[in-house]
Amino acid sequence: MTRVGAVVTERREWWLLAAVPTGVLGLLVAGLLSRPLGHPASDYPRMVALLAGTALLGTCVVVALEDPRRRSVLAARLSRWRMVLAALWLVAELVLLVASAGEAGGGSLSSVRASTVLSYVQALTNGRVSVLVCGCVLVALVLVAVTRGAGAGWSTAPVAALTMVALIARPLTGHSADVGALAQVAIIAHVAAASVWCGGLAVVAVVAGTARGVWARMLPRFSHLAAGARP
- Widest CA span of the chain, in angstroms? 60
Question: What mean pLDDT is predicted for residues 95-109?
Answer: 81
Looking at per-residue pLDDT, the higher value among 104 and 155 belongs to 104
- Alpha carbon 89 to its chain centroid, in Å, reads 6
If residue 60 lies in a helix (H) or strand (E), which one and from where to where? Answer: helix 43-65
- At residue 5 the predicted structure's pLDDT band, cuts being 50, 70 and 90, is very low
In this predicted structure, what is the pLDDT of residue 35? 55
Q: What is the reported pTM?
A: 0.76
Domain assignments of the chain as residue spans, ordered by start: 3-227
Q: What is the mean predicted confidence (pLDDT) over 117-137?
A: 90
Q: Which residue has the higher pLDDT, 126 or 109?
A: 126
User: For the segment 59-81, what is each residue's pLDDT rounded down to a tens digit?
Assistant: 888 888 877 777 777 777 788 88
Span between the terminal Cα atoms of the chain, in Å: 39
Q: Is the pLDDT of residue 116 over 70?
A: yes
Give the SS3 label for residue 97: helix
The string of DSSP codes covering 117-132 is HHHHHHH-HHHHHHHH
Q: pLDDT tens digits for 171-223?
A: 877 655 566 677 778 888 888 888 888 888 888 877 766 556 666 777 777 77
For 159, residues 6+ apart whose C-beta sits below 8 A from its C-beta are 56, 60, 82, 140, 143, 144
- Which pLDDT does position 13 carry in this prediction? 47
Of the candidates 137, 51, 144, 147, the one whose C-alpha atom is nearest the C-alpha of residue 94 is 137
